[in-house]
Chain A
Amino acid sequence: MEHVLAGMKGEGESTAPAQAMEREDGVAAGSSELLSGNDALARGAWEAGVRVGAGYPGTPSTEILEALGRLPGVDCEWSPNEKVALEVAVGASLAGARAIATMKHVGINVAADPLFSVAYMGVNGGLVVVSADDPGMHSSQNEQDNRLFARHARIPLLEPSSPAEARQYAAAAFTLSEAFDTPVLLRSTTRLSHGTARVQVGPRSDVALRPYRKARTKNVVLPAHGRELHRRIEEERIPRLATEAEAWAEVLEPGPGDSGDVAFITAGVPTLYVREAFPGAPILKLGMTYPLPTSTLRSFAETYESRRIYVVEELEPVLEEQVRAMGIHVADRTWPRYGELSVGALRGAVQPDPPGETATGSDPEARAAPARPVPAAVAPLPIRPPALCPGCGHRGAFHGLARMDAIVNGDIGCYTLGALPPLDSMDTCMNMGASIGMAHGMEKVLPEEQRRRLVSVIGDSTFYHSGVTGLMDVVYNRGAGTVVVLDNRTTAMTGHQAHPGTGTRLDADAAPRIDIGAVARALGVEDVRSLDPYDLLDAWRTLDDATRSGQPTVLIAEKPCVLKERITFGEPVVLDADRCTDCFACTRLGCPAIEESGGRLQVNELLCNGCTHCQQVCGNCNAGIDIPLVLELVDQGRMAEAFEVLMRANPMPGIASRVCPHPCDQDVNALGFPQAETYAARHPKLIDRFPGRADRISVRSVERYVGDWGLANLDLAALAPAEERPGSVGIVGSGPGGLTAAWYLRRQGWQVTVYESGPAPGGMLRTGIPPFRLPREVLDGELDRWRAIGVEFRTGMSIGRDMAIQELQEAHDAVMLAVGYHASRGMSLPGSESAPASVLHGLDFLRRFNDGEEPDVGRRVAVIGGGNTAIDCARAARRLGSTVKVIYRRTEAEMPAIPDEVEEARLEGVEFSFQRNPVRALTADGSLKELECIAMAQGEPDESGRRRPVAVPGSEESESFNTVILAIGEDADLGFLEGSDVSINGRVDVNFAGATSCPGVFACGDAAFGHGTVTQAVGTGRRAAELAAQYLNRKAAAQQ
């Protein structure tokens, strides 16, 4: 018979009419245009007179149907899924029209059922199925090779290599389909679909509809009919197609540059890689790759018998195995069975000149990539993965799911990005529509504690695609699943295609809108609610309530796509840099509009569209505690959960609530959560005790209330890590930063050893903070938790003295530096050398006091300084019975000490003398008698922005004191890092997250981030622990 391809080759010469015709689509027939592979496939189908197109969007196939829909005379539709799309195309074909179904590779799995049966039935009008495969998985969940489907379904397979061939093959495929009474599988790949090249286009053929005829034995695939149909396929269709395949094969004879020792059999895009990598080499290029052209293959193999023949294909060895099965000897494949091929990869994999042989016409040097200077070690670059858009409603839903620590069965769409850090709110994502069925299966098995956190999350388009049947199963089989439908009213990820819920069709006409809630109710879901992802606390309440309802629940978050609809909610959020505590809680939303610069956060006003998600999570807590959720849970009396939420951000709430300056109070009350007045009425003890603030929730009191609940009620045994992980961390320092890092790392199962130079863990909590502020039963009570989960403390171990930093690095997979500020700053005080016992350093004095010693400081004590150490020293000395005066060289407003502590000190009788500085100690008999101080005026602002204190000459005055305590500041003692790769700058040099200059070494707390509160150390400890855990995970994965 006449070969189908005859007349199609040399396109532009034979098929183009004499004069170009201007078509409605603006592409002149007979002219050449730059078309993508997808555009060209659509063009070829259109030229072949296709009348019906159906598909489901999926990268890289989406643009085929979109392009076809723009051309006149074709009825194109987005079907709810690929199976329906193919069934529509089959129906159109049987009714007499040429029809095409388009989908991405995994769509063929969905459409496989009709595909395998229509293969038996055959066609009336030509039927072409396009599979756009994705080697390299640029935008897919797998890289299955759909060429295998053709062999499996017993249908011909065409593989164009370029946009020009895509047009040509698409057109010829319909003729082939009709001539052989078979559907045709046309396979593209990402490189073809999303590449463009010049394509010579032709006019549309006037193909008449074929009459519809009932053909029961053909179109009703009963077993009796099917047996005969299958026999015909194997005995008639496939052999005839094999003959036809010969016409689709093309031999490129050897040319200039041929090395003389290799030859290639290939098809599709890899043809171009072969031609470019091995110019002049003989190539057998196959256009039809199932069934194979056996005669051409044998004659090619015979001609090049003396050469190594490579079968070049991506992914599965589909061609190679068939060629070998024919008895043809080919060279072993030397490139992987996964990923994309490229010119470079092929050059590397196929060596034209095996050892011992001489090149015969090619210089292998010329083929190698040009030499590049060996690069010096350069810092790695930050990656830039895709993210949910600023203001995306999905973010609010995932925040709610993270808040409830949900076990989330996810699905496929933009919202799959919710699986990535920092949202990290998805446990599974498998295939279109899988979320609901998977959650139902988990529900059957998981224990109660986990079962009640189960949620499935699915997009609108995916719900119509195949979520409906899963939901039906939940209702029918008495499940109680919570299904969140993230309904952004479009198929967003593939570029905003229409679907049954958009009210539009592919060609943008108005269409009936299928209501998801109505569908769910019709399926028997009695509890269908809306979920507002822009009100974060309300979203959590809805999720929390639904998962506890004990019946199937569908929550519809219907918020249009901000990208498609160009939605702006309001003015960009303004971040008050003066009040931001750098807790980074807002960054857990993963919003691209929140940027980091020099350790501080800022809102990019060009990106922010005012959704206020970030404002809603800003509790201004240095540790990043989810304050609104804690308040809500306390209000509901759910203490265990409130405690668990506190512990997510702060493992020592009992400690922190007693020593934290609670900058949170102002913000939480400003947010009006949850209506402070109501809270005050219900929880009178949790309201601010200071006069004038009686309408304010005291967040510190709530934290202390919940923290103390934990101390009294916590089951320590239940805190043990769920699994042990193969990696160890050495933590230097057991202050709040080190303890926090130890907690989160150990809870994840890493082996944690904390090195403490003192006799007991606690660091500054024990040596620096007096018991009257932090009762030791609270400190020791909370520290029991660390021992309970298996953190090993090695006390009396000083890194640098008892063990070198390098030894520590060798002993552990990662190191966390949390050494704090333990070196007191000195000051020059002439005369003090004559009375050494009367001049104390603040931290030394506190250490002795906190140890229970009662240092003899005499009747009158001067404390020099204005920080928390100074105030603690003053209050401690007061408790020893002395009269105490705090002398500070700046104004009261400039004191860094916590204002409430200053107030307490005043109430205890501590005196203050501001804008004065000691200049001389007057001594007698080795004891201090008087301290001479000078008045200080305010000078020019210094680097801290405060005005520099300047001595006022002649203002010296003396006052009688027995002891002077110097508390003018502390530093980190980092001598132990000398000779290591960790760079220091007065502190440990870290980025905002706690990474040092040395891989595997992290740092937190004062020694890395500068003088801060306990809560700040907790915050930096948790963030550094997260980073260290990611490092350990990567290291463990690399070692496996």
Chain B
Amino acid sequence: MSQDLTNGAAERADVVPEESAIRPVINVVLAGVGGQGSVLATRILARAAALAGHEVVTSEVHGMSQRGGTVVTTVRYGDEVLAPAIPEGQADFLVAFERLEAARHLALVRPGGAALVNDQRIAPSIEALKHAAYPDDLQARADTAGVVIHLCPALRMARELGNDKLSSTVLLGALANQLLIDGEHWRQAVRESVPPRTVEANEAAFASGSEWAVERPTFSS
């Protein structure tokens, strides 16, 4: 697996007792804006992890998520997973579907963790912008939090494939063969999770994300 992505989660002393074959618990936070497909992406990740033989626990808080609000979900997997939500500051990885939501959820990631961020801006409401500006300092915030940022032009790539909504699958494609899940399990999870008539388009989006990741020297080792 790539060390860059999990940034050494497997080597963390607090999750891997010495001389143990127990796989570490991987904690992933997914954050986006209602309507971006982050709930579906959460289900795909959970299914992929389950196919890879992990115990999986997810948590999502929704209800108003379709109305353009922040949506944050968590996926935890490994040999034994307990609490549904990830303790603050202990996520290994953040998948952010939008830049502001990336900045907002950096605090959930542990120092040394990483974030894959869709390079997309979705304007918050004018009412919200009266009180705070859209941040231009994502990188600086990540540096402060000790989190490595990988910016992926998933929206642009999805648009090239003809459908903006594929950007969440593009983003998942960039995670193929990462996070202790094989590419084949990822692809199977995508096939089994998306609406049947969109399987082909989602497979293409996933492949496109995977290719992007391979071409990124900082992204795969």
Which residues in chain B, 42-77, are within 8 Å of chain A measured between CB atoms?
Answer: 43, 46-47, 50, 55-70
Q: Which listed residue (A34, A386, A493, A604) contacts B123, Cβ 8 A?
A: A604
Known interface pairs A59-B63, A60-B63. Does A385 touch B82 (Cβ–Cβ under 8 Å)?
no
Complex contact A191–B59 (CB within 8 A): yes
Complex contact A196–B57 (CB within 8 A): yes
- Does A981 sit within 8 A of B, measured CB to CB? no
A1034 to chain B, nearest CB (A): 10
Known interface pairs A138-B63, A372-B89. Does A195 touch B84 (Cβ–Cβ under 8 Å)?
yes
When each residue 987-1010 of chain A gets 1 if its CB lies under 8 Å from chain B and 0 otherwise, what string results? 000011101000000000000000
Q: How far is the CA of A604 from the CA of B164 in the complex (A)?
A: 14
Which residues in chain A, 374-415, are within 8 Å of chain B measured between CB atoms?
Answer: 375-376, 378-389, 414
Complex contact B144–A389 (CB within 8 A): no
Complex contact A139–B64 (CB within 8 A): yes
Q: Which listed residue (B57, B104, B125) contacts A592, Cβ 8 A?
A: B125
- Does B130 sit within 8 A of A, measured CB to CB? yes
Q: Which listed residue (A378, A414, A422, A995) contacts B67, Cβ 8 A?
A: A414
By a CB distance below 8 angstroms, the chain B residues around A826 are: none
- Does A864 sit within 8 A of B, measured CB to CB? no
Interface residues of A, count at CB 8 A? 68
By a CB distance below 8 angstroms, the chain A residues around B132 are: 379-383
Q: How far is the CA of A414 from the CA of B69 in the complex (A)?
A: 13
Q: Which listed residue (B61, B90, B111, B124) contacts A373, Cβ 8 A?
A: B111
Complex contact B57–A373 (CB within 8 A): no
Q: Which listed residue (A34, A343, A604) contacts B47, Cβ 8 A?
A: A34
By a CB distance below 8 angstroms, the chain B residues around A584 are: 126
By a CB distance below 8 angstroms, the chain B residues around A736 are: none
- Does A184 sit within 8 A of B, measured CB to CB? no
- Does B110 sit within 8 A of A, measured CB to CB? yes
- Does A810 sit within 8 A of B, measured CB to CB? no
- Does A8 sit within 8 A of B, measured CB to CB? no
- Does A451 sit within 8 A of B, measured CB to CB? no
When each residue 96-128 of chain B gets 1 if its CB lies under 8 Å from chain A and 0 otherwise, what string results? 000011011000001100000000000111111
Q: Which listed residue (A198, A414, A494) contacts B55, Cβ 8 A?
A: A198
Q: How far is the CA of A190 from the CA of B141 in the complex (A)?
A: 31
Q: How far is the CA of A414 from the CA of B67 in the complex (A)?
A: 9
Q: Which listed residue (B57, B67, B100) contacts A386, Cβ 8 A?
A: B67
| Segment of A269-277, A547-555, A885-893 in the binding face | A269-277
Complex contact A195–B145 (CB within 8 A): no
Which residues in chain A, 49-78, are within 8 Å of chain B measured between CB atoms?
Answer: 59-60
Complex contact B84–A272 (CB within 8 A): yes
Complex contact B69–A372 (CB within 8 A): no
By a CB distance below 8 angstroms, the chain B residues around A420 are: 127
By a CB distance below 8 angstroms, the chain A residues around B55 are: 197-198
Q: How far is the CA of A373 from the CA of B55 in the complex (A)?
A: 32
Which residues in chain B, 140-171, are within 8 Å of chain A measured between CB atoms?
Answer: 140-141, 144-146, 164
Chain A residue at minimum C-beta to C-beta distance from B124? A382
Complex contact A590–B127 (CB within 8 A): yes
Q: Which listed residue (B124, B127, B133) contacts A422, Cβ 8 A?
A: B127
By a CB distance below 8 angstroms, the chain B residues around A195 are: 57-60, 84
Known interface pairs A596-B123, A995-B131. Does A381 touch B47 (Cβ–Cβ under 8 Å)?
no
By a CB distance below 8 angstroms, the chain B residues around A388 are: 67
By a CB distance below 8 angstroms, the chain A residues around B88 are: 342, 344, 369
Q: Which listed residue (B43, B67, B128, B145) contacts A383, Cβ 8 A?
A: B128
B39 to chain A, nearest CB (A): 10
Q: Which listed residue (B90, B130, B164) contacts A1027, Cβ 8 A?
A: B130
Complex contact B146–A372 (CB within 8 A): yes
When each residue 130-154 of chain A gets 1 if its CB lies under 8 Å from chain B and 0 otherwise, what string results? 0000000011000000000000000
By a CB distance below 8 angstroms, the chain A residues around B141 are: 378
- Does A835 sit within 8 A of B, measured CB to CB? no
Q: How far is the CA of A371 from the CA of B146 in the complex (A)?
A: 11
Q: How far is the CA of A788 from the CA of B131 in the complex (A)?
A: 32
Q: How far is the CA of A1024 from the CA of B11 in the complex (A)?
A: 53
By a CB distance below 8 angstroms, the chain A residues around B131 are: 380, 382-383, 995, 1027, 1030
Q: Which listed residue (B59, B83, B145) contacts A372, Cβ 8 A?
A: B145
Q: How far is the CA of A738 from the CA of B50 in the complex (A)?
A: 63
Complex contact A343–B87 (CB within 8 A): yes
Complex contact B69–A385 (CB within 8 A): yes
Complex contact B125–A590 (CB within 8 A): yes
By a CB distance below 8 angstroms, the chain A residues around B83 are: 269, 272-273, 275-276, 342-343
- Does B129 sit within 8 A of A, measured CB to CB? yes
Complex contact A370–B67 (CB within 8 A): no
Known interface pairs A381-B132, A386-B34. Does A421 touch B127 (Cβ–Cβ under 8 Å)?
yes
Q: How far is the CA of A389 from the CA of B123 in the complex (A)?
A: 14
Known interface pairs A194-B59, A373-B111, A493-B63. Does A384 touch B128 (Cβ–Cβ under 8 Å)?
yes
When each residue 343-363 of chain A gets 1 if its CB lies under 8 Å from chain B and 0 otherwise, what string results? 110010000000000000000
When each residue 1018-1034 of chain A gets 1 if its CB lies under 8 Å from chain B and 0 otherwise, what string results? 00000000010010000
- Does A427 sit within 8 A of B, measured CB to CB? no
A987 to chain B, nearest CB (A): 17
Known interface pairs A344-B88, A389-B68. Does A375 touch B145 (Cβ–Cβ under 8 Å)?
yes
Q: Which listed residue (B84, B87, B135, B140) contacts A191, Cβ 8 A?
A: B84
Complex contact A194–B62 (CB within 8 A): yes
Chain B residue at minimum C-beta to C-beta distance from A136? B61
Which residues in chain A, 807-846, are within 8 Å of chain B measured between CB atoms?
Answer: none
- Does B33 sit within 8 A of A, measured CB to CB? yes
- Does A907 sit within 8 A of B, measured CB to CB? no
By a CB distance below 8 angstroms, the chain B residues around A60 are: 63
A935 to chain B, nearest CB (A): 46
When each residue 320-337 of chain A gets 1 if its CB lies under 8 Å from chain B and 0 otherwise, what string results? 000000000000000000
Q: Which listed residue (B57, B134, B144, B146) contacts A376, Cβ 8 A?
A: B144
Known interface pairs A139-B64, A370-B89, A375-B144. Does A381 touch B127 (Cβ–Cβ under 8 Å)?
no
30 contacts between A and B (CB under 8 A): A34-B47, A34-B50, A191-B84, A194-B60, A195-B84, A196-B43, A196-B56, A272-B82, A272-B83, A272-B84, A275-B83, A342-B87, A343-B83, A369-B87, A369-B90, A380-B131, A381-B103, A382-B125, A382-B134, A384-B69, A386-B64, A386-B67, A386-B69, A417-B67, A590-B125, A594-B126, A595-B126, A606-B164, A991-B133, A1027-B131
Known pairs A195-B58, A592-B68; list 16 more (Cβ under 8 Å).
A34-B58, A60-B63, A198-B56, A272-B83, A372-B145, A373-B144, A378-B137, A378-B144, A380-B132, A384-B124, A386-B67, A389-B68, A420-B127, A422-B127, A584-B126, A587-B127
Which 9 A-B pairs have CB atoms at the shortest separation, nearest pair first? A139-B63, A386-B67, A59-B63, A386-B69, A195-B84, A386-B64, A993-B130, A382-B128, A276-B82
